[in-house]
Structure formats: C-alpha cells, structure tokens
Amino acid sequence: MTTLTKGKFVQMLRTSADIIKERHQLLSELDSATGDGDHGVTINRTMQAVVKALDENADKPFAELLKAVAMGVMMCDGGSTSPLLGSYFLGLASGAVADTLTATQTAAMFEAGLANFRKTSKADLGDKTMVDAFDPATEALVRALGETENHHAAFELAAAKAKEGAEKTSEYVAKFGRARTMGERAIGHLDPGAKSISYIFEGFSKAC
C-alpha cells in the first residue's frame, strides 16, 4: 500500500480504540504501581471519544475529521491524557493535506502530530512518558516510508519501535506526573502512558 486514505486511517483508529478497550484494566494496573491507578480508564475514555467523533464526522474531509477528533478528545474527561492526545490529533490534522496521502505526506502528517504533542508534553526521551513510545515509533515510520513507501511495513516497524520504547521505560526515573515523586523507586515499572501509545500503534499496524 503506497498511499494512506482517510477511510483506512479511520479503520486504524477504530482498531486502536478496540485494543485499548480490551486492555485498559492492564494499563490501570501498571499505573497503580507509580500513579493514581486510573490511566486505563482515562485512555479508554479518550479513545472512545475518538470513536464517537469518527462516527459523527465521517463525511468531513480528512483534516476536518481529525480536528473534530481532537476537539472530542480535549472535551472528554480524560485527565492529562485529553490535552496531550488532543494536541496530537490537531498536529495530525495540520498535516492531512488531502483525503489520500502519499508516503511522503503520511510521514509529514505524523511528524506534525508528534511536534504538536511535544509542545504540550514538554517531555524528552527518557523522561518515562508517552514520548518514549511516540518518538521512536514516529522516527521509524518516517524513515521506512521514505525508503519503501510501503505503509503496512512502515506501520509494522513503527509498532515494534513503540513497544520497544515503552518497555525501556522500566529503566527510567520519571520526570513528570505523580511517578516523579518516587525517584529511583519508579525504576522497574513500565510507564502506562508509553504502553498505551504502543497499543495505539499496534492497532495502526494491524489495520493498515
């Protein structure tokens, strides 16, 4: 597949939402070790807001659909997850220049998503946050699309890198959120936010 259509990306988002819904209890269990124990609930609520926005705005152009998704996410009661993922979808929207994207355009869209997410997050790699999955996944996706233009292979690689990045968070001391108060006691525990992003990219890979 050398292009990404609006319809295909909608399927990808729906698959990601299904995976989050299926595994949200595990994410809350991960969060209970270093946080409030509610990340699974909030990320699931956020992804269900994504699905609702997709249902209600299906006929809109790609960019307008993603803006509607962003608004739906930011208006839902998703704790810190809502503004973070809302900013990500706004970034994606800015890069959705047509309803069918070339490999180069897809790469640019995901780069825009990450850039806007980082503006809100302020976190860097190694800070034990969603960035630890988002960053390597996006880097791998962009590189692969530039080399092969094969979207399926690129999203498979991105999912693998997101998972790898999430697993590495067990080695880090947290710099954000409640986990930062634990200092070195947070070492050995996965960041639930990064893990949820790895699940989202897994959904992208499965549906692409």
Which long-range contacts does 65-70 make (Cβ < 8 Å, 24+ apart)? 65/6, 65/10, 65/96, 66/90, 66/92, 66/93, 66/96, 67/93, 69/13, 69/93
CA–CA dist 90, 72 (Å, integer) = 11
The model's pTM = 0.95
Specify the pLDDT at position 11: 98
pLDDT confidence of residue 37: 84
Can you read off the two tokens belonging to residue 94?
């800015």
- What DSSP character marks residue 157? H
Q: Are 179 and 190 in contact (CB under 8 A)?
A: no
Taking only the tens of pLDDT, the chain with its 208 residues reads 899 999 999 999 999 999 999 999 999 999 888 777 899 999 999 999 999 999 999 999 999 999 999 999 999 987 889 999 999 999 999 999 999 999 999 999 999 999 999 999 999 999 999 999 999 999 999 999 999 999 999 999 999 999 999 999 998 877 766 555 555 655 778 899 999 999 999 999 999 9
Whole-number pLDDT of residue 177: 64
Neighbours of 68 (CB within 10 A): 20
